[in-house]
Structure 1
Amino acid sequence: MSGGPFHDGERLVQKATGEDVLALRNGRFISTTLSANSERMLGIATTLNIAVSDAEGRVWSFLANGPEGLVARADDKTVYLNRTEMTVPSALWTMVSAGAPIGLVAMDLTSARRFRINGSVNEVTPERVTIDVAQTCPNCPKYIQQRLPVADNRYQGVSPASGSDLPDNLADLIRQADTFFVASKNPDGDHDASHRGGYPGFVNVKGNQLIVPDYFGNSMFMTLGNLALEPRAGITFVDFDTGAQLNLTGHATLNLEGRMAHDGADGRYWTFDIEAWQLTPHRPEPAWKLGAYSRFNPPLET
């Protein structure tokens, strides 16, 4: 990490959007250690977004689910992931090794709480992944749809698949989604994981390109700041009804002066050009159902 709470890309976007003063105010929540309060937040997290890169340098985002204790605070500079309890695509483990950078967002979907951790892998064993913490930050509940656990098995059959051109059925999955997760990294290689949400249809699909509105957030631009300097990124969509996880890798391009309907931040948006995708079954126990949409979601306009 470069000096201060923000790197050059984050400061560039903060200034370009006129939100640099607000960013500095919110930047006081960024820390290089885990507070004692973080143990309580991590302790209730059952959803985890993970940002990693593969051997070719492509960025990927993966979603993991499990019981409370999925991710745990060991001390103020260390967390570990409980591998034995995680439901996650197996491809993740080919990208996690000692010394590798990693980004995490730990979430409780029932209370719309999330906590961000960036760092590097210290050790990998069959039981756990130990992570050295470099940066932490609590995030607000904006745009998180409440999801509630259900005991019934509501999943349909999902066959693993992969490719480069996005087929129609997966384009429809994206168009119907109210949630996705994005992985990014800065030029120094530090990874970051983040969450995005809105009403179904908030992400547009045109061929192999996604068009994503930039809803107003905490003004720190931890994701867009990375993308401003390093366009490689990964995205995950999950169909909570069928139990399908769609992982995409590609390149992002920012448009801070564009216009897009239903955007709560003056029309800003970014595009994501898909280079490769993989579809895997994602069947956490318990399953999830929609409880309520976030009250912060901007209305969709046509």
Structure 2
Amino acid sequence: MATLHVLGNLTAHDRRILTAVNAGASSLSFVGSSFIVLCYVLFKELRKFSFKLVFFLALSDMLCSFFSIVGDPSKGFFCYAQGYITHFFCVASFLWTTTIAFTLHRTVVRHMTDVEDLEPMFHLYVWGTSLVVTVMRSIGNEHGHLGAWCWTETGRTGKVVHFITFYAPLWSAILFNGFTYFQVIRMLNNATRMAVGMSDRTYQSDARADMKALNRWGYYPLILIGSWAFGTINRIHDFIVPGHKIFWLSVLDVGMAALMGLFNSIAYGLNSSVRRAIHERLDLFLPERLRRWFPNSLKLRGQQQESELVSLKIQDQQ
């Protein structure tokens, strides 16, 4: 008879379920983010600064998901390696979303055209911050692993450090993104009202198009909230009541966090430029009888631009 291992009040069976949920959700995120990375590599027309930020976001999600798929490794070196590498790329992922929000704000609200010059600063900010918080995480760390993860700290000091090095930057990014998108959408709302008042049909049409494009950007901070809200609640509960895990909360924690890469790839990556590039390749390589089976939505309804950064005039200045 197999030995029944228990972590807190979770049995070995519970841990196997968490591992399966993590592996399944992480696999979906890995496929979604890998698709965006592949599109950037294959389609030269996508290699603008606007989509380059999305590429680095997808790359971080892809690597975060890949190391999460490792599952339930043995204690020791591989467990530590998985924990720290996953921590690094997950932090990098949500930090790249702040660079996208910053670029939108600087271009749309402040009307600045120097965002491409800031790319080295973006890399220093994202990779440097991710490295610093990952190294800091070793402070007071009594490392353990909860089935799906190797980044669970069992000591009280380690849990505090985990909050400081992961959840503090996470919720700071959520607040920053939310405030930034609110300002951008408010400015476009004001521009639309001014256009209506002036009866300027051309400007009114442009403003409304931009407003339509930005409407769904306002929901993007909800991706991070939805991905990590259950994880935050679970960590707070574990800190207050250590050793008493809530199984259903752990399932939601593991599953939603692992799906972050999939959510990001759909929201940030599958924009009109990507779909246009795919449709052009289908037109080029597929015979007519096969192309009829693809939905008309790939044709982009007259090539209308949507909510990507390119549609907000963040183009290469070369």
Q: If the TM-score is normalised by the length of the shorter chain, which range does it land in?
A: under 0.3
Normalised to the residue count of structure 1, the TM-score between the two structures is 0.26
Whichever of the two has the greater Rg, that structure is: 2
> Larger strand proportion, structure 1 or 2?
1
Q: Give the TM-score of the pair, scaled to structure 2.
A: 0.25
Bigger relative CO (Cα 8 Å, ≥ 6 apart): 2
Instruction: Decide which structure has greater helix share.
Output: 2
